[in-house]
Amino acid sequence: MRKGFFVPNWSFPAVGIILFLPLLVLASDGQDLIFEEGSEWELISGGHQFAEGIAWEQEGYFYFTDVPRALLFKVDAQTGKKTLLDDNTGQANGITFGADGRLYGCARGASTIYAWNPMTWAKLPVARGPASNDIALLDNGTIFFSDPAERTVWHVDLV
């Protein structure tokens, strides 16, 4: 594991302006670029302590975590049925699917990155080390993850 990048100590307003200014420019023509006119917000799941870590898969399922409760859920997009997949995620936060079909998650509380098998939902640790928060995977299995407390981004190559 090695540090790949360092995130500067920017204040939130500066980062917000830099990241969201292009969106403001795109939206400034008065068109709604995201939502259909007249559409409304729809509650998918409630009663969580801290819902976070969102992933979507091609079969029509939406995944998220409840970080402090260390829970991983799956929601069927057609029926809205919510299923608990793991009740001991190590306080997983950021999750994403890899090219291998497994769901990867940053378990900050366990200082581990897990991979869940979508057929059995058994999880395996694939990396241990710094606390992790959000995650991105390349098709070749390379993992990037952030550690906001240390203001760093790390890189891991899976074998």
- Domain positions in the chain are 2-36+45-157
Summarised one tens digit per residue, pLDDT across range 74-118 is 999 889 899 999 999 999 999 999 999 999 999 999 999 999 999
DSSP 132: -
Separation between Cα atoms, residue 66 and residue 51, nearest integer Å: 4
Contact between 132 and 108 (Cβ < 8 Å): yes
**CA pair distance 10, 69, nearest whole angstrom:** 31
Beta-strand pair 135-137/123-128: unpaired
- How far is residue 133's CA from residue 104's CA, in Å, rounded to a whole number? 12
pLDDT(69) > 80: yes
| pTM > 0.85: yes or no | no
Question: 116 with 95: CB under 8 angstroms?
Answer: no
The token pair at 6 is: 């360092």
The DSSP output letter for 55 is E
Q: Output the six-digit token pair for 1.
A: 């594991």
Beta-carbon contacts of residue 40 (< 8 Å; ≥ 6 apart): none
Overall average pLDDT of the 42-55 stretch = 86
Please give the CATH topology (third level) of the domain spanning 2-36+45-157.
Neuraminidase (2.120.10)
DSSP state of 110: G
Given a cut of 70, whether residue 22 has pLDDT beyond it is no
Q: What is the pLDDT of residue 27?
A: 47
